[in-house]
Amino acid sequence: MSKKQENVLYGKFDNTVEAVLSVKKPLKFTDFFCGIGGFHIAAQNLGMEGVFASDIDIHAQDMYEANFGFRPVGDISRIKPKGVPDHDILFAGFPCQPFSIIGKQNGFADPRGTLFFDLLKIIKKKMPHAIVLENVKQLATSDKGRVIERILSDLRDVGYDVDYKILNALDYGVPQKRERTIIVGSLSGLDDFEWPEGGVKMTPLKKILEKDPDPKVFVSERIKKKRMAAHTPEVTPSIWHENKSGNISSYPYSCALRAGASYNYLLVNGERRLTPRETLRLQGFPDSYKIVCTDWQVKKQTGNAVVVPVVQAVIERVKNVVERSQVKGKSQAAT
């Protein structure tokens, strides 16, 4: 075929090709070990559509349903992969306790650690274009690095190009020092993927703290006096942190929120606990997020949640990889 004939032939279909490429449906995502929906908020902010979620905790299910309109299913080990809807990207904040510095760091020796393999079964069956996984910083060093290498190897065997990086919420505008391991994977490769660099100015703590907190969050005078005698802060407002050894430090940001820690290990200005709304704000959740469970449950659930701005920055980069691949595929099909 001559160049002239080729131009005439393709010219007839130029409008069709452009129409095909311009159709941009929202990417669909699934949300495993979804908790109260940090991944969902981040993906929703980027115009994506949630089609399935799973979490075994009924209180997390209550919060998720109240905010997103559908209820997560329960135990992932009982989910039949073929029953999961087709989707473009899979998110999962699989249980961190087996790898956490707070626990015994038993990794895959802990039954909760093996839940990753239940997730892998679903990934193998559904083969989403991309995946984004989140876990504690210690995942990268658990069992001298063998745990994460096993995870990456298993994902590569399925067909994914994978990478991981430890990101800190402090670098993404959130006043909380929270380092987490993020794993990304793509079936079309990661040559076009770049990790977000952070560098976002931190939101001042005073914008996170409530101006008129409920009196019930204030500690007793005995605890307050003990703290005041033991520590003098350099900045105000600040969040005081007491470690297991009883040493107290204070910063213009929070140390990492924890699901099972004492209410008193973090104190605002040494005198009160964080309110439920404040803990949500420290994870990047909007004030429009509905609270439908007890204060204790909010504390537990936010301690297990992902930091919205952190995962949103990553998801945006992954979303671009998926969309570029889809456009390339449509272009080839249309041509």
Show which residues are catalytic: 96
Q: What's the per-residue H, E or C state across 14-70?
A: HHHHHHHHHCCCCCEEEEECCCCCHHHHHHHHCCCEEEEEECCCHHHHHHHHHHHCC
In angstroms, the CA 128 to CA 76 distance is 17
Distance CA 39, CA 314 (A): 11
* DSSP tag of 88: S
Tell me which amino acid residue 300 is: K
Residue showing tokens 């008193």: 264
CA angle 80–91–46, rounded 5-degree value: 130
Distance CA 284, CA 37 (A): 11
Tell me whether strands 248-251 and 239-242 are parallel, antiparallel or unpaired: antiparallel
Could you say which DSSP state residue 267 is in?
E
Cα torsion 198, 28, 324, 163: sign: positive
